[in-house]
Amino acid sequence: MQIIYINEDKYQYDIHSLFKAFWPHEEVRVIAGNPGDFPEKEEDITGADFVTRINVTGKTKDEVKQEIYRRESEKTGKLLPWGDLTGIRPTRIAMNLIEEGKSDTEVTAFMKEHYFVSDEKSALALEIAKREKEILKRIDYKNGYSIYIGIPFCPTTCLYCSFLSLPIGANSNLVDDYIKCLQREIDYVAESFAGKTLDTVYIGGGTPTTLSADQLKRLIGYLKNRLDMKSVKEFTVESGRPDSITLDKLRVMKKMGVTRISINPQSMSDDTLKLIGRRHSVSDVIDAFNLARDEGFDNINMDIILGLPGETAMNVRHTIDEIKKLRPDDLTVHCLAIKRGSRLFEAMLEKEKNGSLSVSLQKSTDSTEEMMEVAMKGAREMGLLPYYLYRQKNISGNFENTGYALEGKAGIYNILINEEVQSIVALGAGTVTKRVFGYGGRIERCDNVKDLKLYMNSIDEMIERKRKLFEKE
Ligand code: SF4
Write down the domain spans for the chain: 2-69, 90-136, 138-466
In the CATH scheme, what architecture does the domain 138-466 have?
A: Alpha-Beta Horseshoe (3.80)
Gap from CA of 374 to ligand 1 centroid (Å): 25
Compute the half-sphere exposure of residue 63: CA atoms within 13 Å on the CB side of its CA. 7
Residue nearest (by alpha carbon) to ligand 1 atom 2: 206
Compute the half-sphere exposure of residue 434: CA atoms within 13 Å on the CB side of its CA. 16
Cβ–ligand 1 distance for 253 under 6 Å, the answer no
Best probe residue, ligand 1, of 153, 156, 165, 272 (max atoms within 8 Å of C-beta): 165
Q: How far is the C-alpha of 278 from the C-alpha of 241, rounded, in Å?
A: 8
Q: What is the pLDDT of residue 361?
A: 45
Which residues does residue 260 pair with via DSSP β-bridges, in sequence order?
A: 236
Q: How many CB atoms lie within 10 A of CB 225?
A: 11
Gap from CA of 442 to ligand 1 centroid (Å): 31
Would you give per-residue pLDDT tens digits along the chain (473 residues)? 888 999 999 999 899 989 988 888 788 889 998 888 888 777 667 777 888 999 999 999 999 999 999 999 999 999 998 999 987 788 989 988 998 999 999 999 999 999 999 999 999 999 999 999 999 888 887 789 999 999 999 998 888 888 889 999 999 999 999 999 999 999 999 999 999 999 999 999 899 999 999 999 999 999 999 999 999 999 999 998 999 999 999 999 999 999 999 999 999 999 999 988 888 999 999 999 999 999 999 999 999 999 888 898 999 999 999 999 999 999 999 988 776 667 766 666 565 555 444 434 444 445 788 899 999 999 999 999 999 999 876 665 667 899 999 999 999 999 999 888 899 999 999 999 999 998 778 999 999 999 999 999 999 999 999 999 999 88
Compute the half-sphere exposure of residue 34: CA atoms within 13 Å on the CB side of its CA. 2
**Long-range pairs of 45-48 with CB within 8 A, sequence gap ≥ 24:** 45/3, 47/1, 48/1, 48/2, 48/3
- Whole-prediction pTM: 0.90
Cβ–ligand 1 distance for 158 under 6 Å, the answer yes
